[in-house]
Structure 1
């Protein structure tokens, strides 16, 4: 796979050495057991897969290269490059401006842009409407495009099945930049509706089966369906694609559920279900799958707690937290700075969108075993910093160099 020129400040020699060792031992990526970092009174179980994915590294390389190659020019990002505050703040420090926030609220009026300005499309992609707006301003919308190739693959699949007269069901968060972009691209080809979770998929199914009157659809899914959507006509042939950072198992469960509803509704078998349900399994992102499978592997081990590192508005990171929470006390932190002391931590409650301050953190026992992972937009340097901070609570910082030597 292609390698990228990512700024060294995001790299970690230790994490790189660990990842390279695991890759050499397991080139087919079938082993999801964690890497054990045993420091005596502290044991850290590091996930098999975590950190920057292909799409994130691609976006970072393009963004920083664009800044370096265009001194003196005004450079804008449509919104956050990725959902990691450290990377976004580094770009802001280099003079890059955000045109919108992550919710789509305008920060820089379109009228202030000129044809001489550079506009970078973030890793999530953007809508066709925004591409058209940039074109009208004399700015080539795709000249500095960092859209993740796996996001584009979802768009291509939506277009492909749309051309075969399937309606597209997008499993995603309606307000997320990626889902807004996917919805825009899909609806330009075929009727499209967004469902955020299994509960909404079940609601949608009642309109597929005719259990509920069609008028209810338009209020229940307000803002989540394409213009001119005809419930009676457009839910007879469907396919499911996803926001690539969603919980992969949930996307598959939704697709399987809708498929079974279609089979029952039209008395179809596995052999002829494709008449009304499109196979879209290849739209699931490899990194999302790998990172979530690695957490599943982590959770097979006995541990006292889990730490997940990443941006608080990162969808893929929140799903790793969601998996860990089922089994263990889980602390979602954005950096090592949130680990204040052995008994004090600031961490994010993504369910209620608030940062919590907890005064019970590390249990008073030895050894303490911690599961550790990070989201796909989290630099490895932050994971190393978290390990160092945890070691400092046990006066074991010197063990870091010993550990690095074992993987060199």
Structure 2
């Protein structure tokens, strides 16, 4: 197999749990993770490790090229299990092994990946809630002898207290991603300085619900889901809209006791870690400019009204999005993006790819039904649809391939192998 990155051959070799990112490298010095073999891939792991060794400072976002003659794959520079997911997977499986005689529950999906969650269910783990927060198992059915795992998204202060009241330690099996906790800490810091916290995130997402809950412990808090909502929020800062309208327009997205007449005079922006970086930056820049205009601010005086918050996206979100931009600089016939359909970070990669090429969002290789038919998720209609003749008929087909931060390497490998199998005269894949 020929594997090319920047015209240099890449060797393939087995690697377990390859790491990415400056922050993550520091963490890896303190801890390495044990990931079940069913999530690993010799091919994908080898590519990742080789790229990591070639580009330790992560300056190169060009894709890896796998050229098999009739079909060529462009593999994104960064994708797959991130630090937070590896941490969550290890804790969950270790918890199962260490508690064979106990009932084990997850508050909700540990991560947004169907393969991982299905495997946990097959091992006897039960979900207390679904991803929207709807109760599946009544709290009354739990006891102090049960084990409850907190998912990577974290959980709310209210649920932590609920578990404590039952006699369950919410922190004993806590897989909350360190980068989510970083957002909570940032929100706490600016809240303690009397800024109102604006959270850019999807209001119904587990992580945003958790961040909102922790943020409101220290300051008035409001969630905005996109720039459109942010523009409307700004109209309450400038007085273009009456306070009475606010409580209906942002119903369910502001903390109890929020006073729109005074709580928007000093603000700071944090975000759900998996949002598009450009969207969060645009929202922060827009609100900062509104404050400058509203209060006739010059120079550094803006900090009296707008908190100096650095970006709170996790390293993996940044890396994956940057790598996707690098991927899309190349020419191809189509893009396949793998991951859970309710995965926020994956859906944003799909949004980027859709702007340039036919894009197929699939959860696994099983969604590739035949060489002429694929079942894929439509972000806009929120439904699966079928597309025929998704692979063009030409002498050489170029396919881009990437996935979200909660998608196992094994899934990417199976997609690669299945697509390759549709080209019988292509060069063989040799792991």
Distance 2:286 2:316 in 1: 24
1:382 to 386, 406, 411: 411
- Please report how far the alpha carbon of residue 281 of structure 1 lies from its aligned counterpart in structure 2 after TM superposition: 1.7
**Aligned residues of 2:76 and 2:327 also touching (Cα < 8 A):** yes
Please give the secondary structure, in 1, of the residue aligned with 2:72.
strand
In 1, Cα distance between equivalents of 2:253 and 2:162: 22
1:214 and 2:250 equivalent? no
1:51–1:73: structure 2 CA closer, same or farther, 3 Å change rule? same
Matched ranges for 1:293-304 at <5 A: 293-304=322-333
Q: Which residue of 1 aligns with 2:153?
A: 124
Offset at residue 283 of structure 1 (A): 1.4
Partner of 2:59: 30
Is this contact kept in 1: 2:199–2:223, CA < 8 A?
yes
| Aligned match of 1:327 | 356
Any conservation in 2 of the 1:343–1:361 contact (CA below 8 Å)?
yes
Q: Matches of 1:210 and 1:360 in 2, distance apart?
A: 54
Given that 1:388 and 1:397 are in contact with CA atoms closer than 8 Å, whether structure 2 keeps it comes out as no
Matched, 1:93 2:122: yes
Provide Cα deviations, 1:2-36, integer angstroms capped at 9, x if missing partner: 13111011011111111111111111101100000
Query: How far does the alpha carbon of each residue in 1:187-238 deviate from its partner, in whole angstroms, 9 at most, with x for none?
Result: 1110000000000010101011111111111111000000010111000000
CA deviation after TM superposition for structure 1 residue 139, in Å: 0.7
Would you say 1:261 and 2:290 are equivalent positions? Answer: yes
Gaps of 5+ in 2: 1-24
Aligned match of 1:365 in 394, 403, 412?
A: 394
User: How is 1:337-356 mapped onto 2 (pairs within 5 angstroms)?
Assistant: 337-356=366-385
Q: Aligned-pair distance for 1:397?
A: 7.8
CA distance in 2, matches of 1:219, 1:360: 47
Query: Secondary structure of 2:93's partner?
Result: helix
Check conservation: 1:53, 1:376, Cα contact below 8 A.
yes
User: Distance between the aligned counterparts of 1:189 and 1:83, measured in 2?
Assistant: 29
CA distance in 1, matches of 2:212, 2:278: 21
1:360 Cα shift? 2.3
The count of aligned residue pairs is 402
Return the TM-score normalized by structure 2.
Answer: 0.92
TM-score (ref. length: structure 1): 0.97
Q: What SS class does the counterpart of residue 395 from structure 2 fall into?
A: coil
- Contact 1:122–1:146 (CA under 8 A) maintained in structure 2: yes
Distance in 1 of aligned mates of 2:425 and 2:274:
36
Distance 1:80 1:9 in 2: 19
Coordinate RMSD, CA, aligned? 0.9
- After TM superposition, where is structure 1 displaced by more than 6 Å over at least 4 residues in a row? none
Question: Contact between 2:103 and 2:147, CA under 8 Å: does it hold in 1?
Answer: yes
Trace 1:45-194 onto structure 2 (pairs within 5 A).
45-194=74-223
1:251 corresponds in structure 2 to 280
* SS in structure 2 at match of 1:283: coil
Superposition deviation, residue 351 in structure 1: 1.6
Q: Which runs of 5+ in 1 are unaligned?
A: none
Residues 347-371 of structure 1 deviation map (CA, whole Å, 9 limit, x = unaligned): 0012211000111200011211111
Match of 2:320 in 1: 291
Is 1:9 aligned to 2:38, yes or no? yes
Work out the CA distance in 1 between the residues paired with 2:147 and 2:363: 30
Equivalent position of 2:17 in the other structure: none
Distance in 1 (alpha carbons) for counterparts of 2:109 and 2:260: 35
1:270, 1:347 → 2: CA distance? 50
